[in-house]
Amino acid sequence: MTAQGSDLTVGLIAPGKIGLPFAANLIADGYTVWGYRRSSMADFEAVGGRAAASAREVAERADVIFTCVTSADALDEVIGGEQGILAAGRSDLLVVDIGAMALSRKEAAHAILRAHGITMLDAPVSGTPPMVADRKGTVFASGDQKSFERVRPALEALGRVIYTGGFGSGSKMKFVANTLTFVHITAAAEAIALAKAVGLDTKLVIDTIRPSAAASTMFNVRAPMMAEGQTRPVKGTVSGAVEVVEAIMATAAEAGAEMPLLSEVLEICEEACASGLGEEDIAVLVSVLESRAAGSVRNDRPGVAVVC
pLDDT one digit per residue (tens) for the chain, 308 residues? 334 446 889 999 988 889 999 999 999 999 999 999 999 999 999 999 999 999 999 999 999 999 999 899 999 999 999 999 999 999 999 999 999 999 999 999 999 999 999 999 999 999 888 899 999 999 999 999 999 999 999 999 999 999 999 999 999 999 999 999 999 999 999 999 999 999 999 999 999 999 999 999 999 999 999 999 999 888 899 999 999 999 999 999 999 999 999 999 999 999 999 999 999 999 999 999 999 999 864 434 344 443 43
Dump the DSSP string for 227-281: HHT---S-SSBHHHHHHHHHHHHHHHHHHT---HHHHHHHHHHHHHHHTT-TTSB
Residues spanned by CATH 3.40.50.720 within the chain?
Answer: 9-166
43: Cβ–Cβ under 8 A, 6 or more apart, which residues? 20
Q: Name the class of domain 9-166.
A: alpha beta
Residues of the chain with CATH 1.10.1040.10: 172-295
Which residue, 3, 11, 8, 17, is CA-closest to 241?
17
pTM: 0.90
Distance from C-alpha of 95 to C-alpha of 128, rounded to nearest angstrom: 22
Closest by alpha carbon to 154, among 91, 67, 66? Answer: 66
214 Cβ contact partners less than 8 Å away, ≥ 6 residues apart: none
Burial class (CB in 10 A: 0-12, 13-18, 19+), 106: buried
172-295 CATH pick, 1.10.1040.10, 3.30.300.30, 3.40.50.300, 3.30.70.360? 1.10.1040.10
CA–CA separation, 192 and 156 (whole Å): 36
Measured distance between the N- and C-terminal CA atoms of the chain, rounded to whole angstroms? 65
